[in-house]
Amino acid sequence: MEYLANGTENYAIIGSFSDSLKLQFLTQNLQICDTTGRIYPVVYFFIDDVSILEMQYVEPKIPNVFSPNNDGVNEAWIVEFEEEVQCIIYNRWGNIIYNQKDKKIIWNGNDNCDGIYYYIINSNRYNYKGFIQLLR
């Protein structure tokens, strides 16, 4: 059975009904009454098959080098995700120099020297680890 919603629905009941006679009785004989005394038939939509489609996960593009030198190109290290992630960036001595939780991670490298930095990004689905090279 297929059903296409048109926007005028009040209820959608999802369930499994094995007895078609009970189903016919429910859909033909139920009525409700509003405060004015008018009687309306109750209309139910029974859906016995539901499909769930899992969306394909899009792998983030994680750059490994950027150059915040005010030339207008690659001024920040930017990574975008479909969900909120925790990103921690460490310097070569293991000190945390950046810690952000967001869907879009932007690190501009301010107050940091040229060099290699290590990142860990944790999401609900995946964990990413790698290196970033900062060039001025």
Domain ranges of the chain: 1-52, 65-134
Query: What is residue 5's predicted lDDT score, i.e. its pLDDT?
Result: 54
The phi and psi torsions of 40 (rounded to 5 degrees) equal -125, 145
Flag whether pLDDT at 128 surpasses 60: yes
What is the average pLDDT score of the chain? Answer: 79
Instruction: Assign domain 65-134 to a CATH class.
Output: mainly beta
- Residue 121: count other Cβ atoms within 10 Å of its Cβ: 20
> pLDDT tens for residues 2-44?
445 555 655 554 544 444 544 454 444 455 555 666 665 655 5
